[in-house]
Amino acid sequence: MKVLIVVNDPKDWPLAISDVEVVPARAYLTDAAYAEMTSARVFNLCKSYRYQSTGYYVSLLAAARGHKPLPDVATIQDFKTQAIIRIASDDLDQIIQQSLGQIKSPEFVVSIYFGHNVAKRHEKLAQQLFKIFQAPFLRASFTHNDKEKKWQLAGITPIAASDIPEDHRDFAVQMAREYFKGRHRIFHRRRTARYDLAILHDPAEAEAPSNAKALQRMVKGAEAVGFGVEFIEKDDYGRLAEFDALFIRETTSVLHHTYRFARRAVAEGLVVIDDPESILRCTNKVFLAEIFTRHRIPIPKTRILHQGNWQQFSADLGFPCVLKKPDSSFSQGVVKVENEAELAREVTALLQKSELVIAQEFMPTTFDWRVGVFDRQPLFACKYFMARKHWQIIKRDQNGCKLTDGEAETLPVEHCPPALIKLALKASALIGDGLYGVDIKQVGNRFYLIEINDNPNIDAGVEDKVLKDDLYLRLMRVFARRVDGRKGGGLWA
Higher pLDDT, 433 or 9: 433
Tell me: pLDDT of 414 over 70: yes
Q: What's the N-to-C CA distance of the chain in angstroms?
A: 25
Vertex 417: Cα angle to 392 and 286 (nearest 5) = 45
Tell me: pLDDT of 118 over 60: yes
Instruction: Name the most confidently modeled range: 175-179, 276-280, 371-375.
Output: 371-375
52 exposure class (CB count in 10 Å sphere: 0-12, 13-18, 19+): exposed
Sign of CA dihedral 273, 276, 279, 282: negative
Q: Residue 330 has what pLDDT? A: 59
Confidence of residue 15 (pLDDT cuts 50, 70, 90): low
272 exposure class (CB count in 10 Å sphere: 0-12, 13-18, 19+): buried
Rounded to the nearest angstrom, the gap between the alpha carbon of residue 253 and the centroid of all alpha carbons in its chain is 9
pLDDT digits 0-9 by tens, 88-114? 898 899 999 999 988 989 999 999 999
Q: Residue 298 has what pLDDT? A: 96
Cα dist from 166 to 96, 136, 138, 172, 232, whole Å: 26, 17, 15, 10, 35
Q: Residue 354 has what pLDDT? A: 81
Confidence of residue 192 (pLDDT cuts 50, 70, 90): low
Instruction: Please provide residue 178's backbone torsions phi and psi, each rounded to the nearest 5 degrees.
Output: -65, -40
Tell me: pLDDT of 286 over 70: yes
Q: Residue 188 has what pLDDT? A: 43
Tell me: pLDDT of 349 over 60: yes
Within 10 angstroms of residue 123's Cβ, the number of other Cβ atoms is 15
Tell me: pLDDT of 189 over 60: no
Higher pLDDT, 414 or 330: 414
489 exposure class (CB count in 10 Å sphere: 0-12, 13-18, 19+): exposed
Confidence of residue 490 (pLDDT cuts 50, 70, 90): very low
pLDDT digits 0-9 by tens, 158-170? 888 778 888 898 8
Say if strands 40-44 and 68-70 run parallel, antiparallel, or are unpaired.
parallel
Confidence of residue 334 (pLDDT cuts 50, 70, 90): confident
pLDDT digits 0-9 by tens, 303-316? 888 887 887 776 67
In this structure, of 57-66, 324-333, 342-351, the range with the lowest mean pLDDT score is 324-333
Q: Residue 488 has what pLDDT? A: 55
Tell me: pLDDT of 341 over 80: yes
How big is the chain, counted in residues? 493
Contact 460, 226 (CB under 8 A): no
Contact 74, 133 (CB under 8 A): no
Taken in order of first residue, the domains within the chain and their CATH numbers are 2-74 (3.40.250), 81-170 (3.30.470), 189-274+479-485 (3.40.50.20), 301-361 (3.30.1490.20), 367-468 (3.30.470.20)
- Rounded to an integer, the average pLDDT of 174-196 is 66
Average pLDDT, rounded, for the chain: 88
Confidence of residue 139 (pLDDT cuts 50, 70, 90): very high
Higher pLDDT, 387 or 193: 387
DSSP assignment of 361-380 equals E----SEEEEEEEETTEEEE
- Rounded to an integer, the average pLDDT of 317-336 is 78
Within 10 angstroms of residue 404's Cβ, the number of other Cβ atoms is 11
**Radius of gyration of the chain from its Cα atoms, rounded to whole angstroms:** 26
**Beta-bridge partner residues of 153:** 142
Instruction: Please provide residue 162's backbone torsions phi and psi, each rounded to the nearest 5 degrees.
Output: -70, -15
Tell me: pLDDT of 429 over 80: yes
Q: Residue 384 has what pLDDT? A: 95
DSSP assignment of 308-365 equals TTGGGSHHHH-SSEEEEEEEEETTEEEEEE-SHHHHHHHHHHHHTT-S-EEEEE----
- Rounded to an integer, the average pLDDT of 433-444 is 96
* 58 sits in which H/E element: helix 54-64
pLDDT exceeding 70 applies to what percent of the chain? 94
**Confidence (pTM):** 0.70
